[in-house]
């Protein structure tokens, strides 16, 4: 049985564009050893002008490879990582952007907050489609205390 799905011209053009619909830039981490936390911020931008609004869930994973097995810290903290991916994307931080926005957050109750080597940012649509998975080496970002 064949199902015909009608798409608007905008949706068809957007589907042909293979770039991720969002990008992440300017990641900044602020480790706070006194309060055992890391505050973070980054720019989330919509890349495809043909799409009016991009929305979904964000999940940030910090990884320390100095420990074996590597230590993971996840924001929001209620999410578990299974086989390298978030177990329940719907527990992520909701976002909706027309152009771009600054995303900020704090990860609390962390031992040795300066020890993380990588940050991976996942963006999912509300339907569960992976919109973006970007891993950034922490030494490449502004890591101030």
Residue 60 has a CB neighbour count (10 Å cut-off) of 23
In the chain, which stretches have pLDDT less than 70?
A: 1-18, 140-145
Q: Is residue 4 part of a domain?
A: no
Range of the domain at 90: 9-143
Q: What is the pLDDT of residue 140?
A: 53
CATH number of the domain where residue 125 is located: 2.60.40
- Which own/partner pairs from 67-70 qualify as long-range (CB within 8 Å, at least 24 positions apart)? 67/115
* Number of domains comprising the chain: 1
Q: Is residue 1 part of a domain?
A: no
What gap in Å lies between CA 20 and CA 138, rounded to an integer? 22
Pairing of strands 93-97, 100-107: unpaired
DSSP result, 90-128: GGSEEEEESSEEEEEEEE-S-SSGGG--EEEEEEEETT-
Q: Is residue 99 part of a domain?
A: yes
pTM, to two decimals:
0.81
């Amino acid at each position: 049985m064949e199902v015909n799905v009608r798409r608007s011209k905008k949706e068809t053009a957007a589907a042909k564009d293979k770039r991720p619909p969002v990008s992440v830039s300017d990641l900044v981490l602020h480790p706070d050893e006194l309060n055992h936390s890391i505050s973070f911020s980054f720019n989330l931008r919509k890349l495809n002008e043909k799409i009016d609004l991009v929305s979904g869930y964000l999940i940030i994973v910090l990884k320390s490879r100095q420990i074996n097995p590597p230590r993971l810290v996840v924001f929001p903290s209620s999410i578990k990582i299974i086989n390298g991916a978030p177990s329940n994307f719907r527990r992520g931080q909701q976002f909706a952007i027309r152009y771009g926005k600054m995303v900020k957050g704090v990860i609390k109750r962390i031992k040795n907050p300066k020890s993380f080597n990588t940050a991976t940012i996942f963006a999912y649509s509300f339907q569960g489609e992976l919109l973006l998975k970007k891993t950034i080496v922490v030494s490449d970002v502004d890591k101030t205390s």
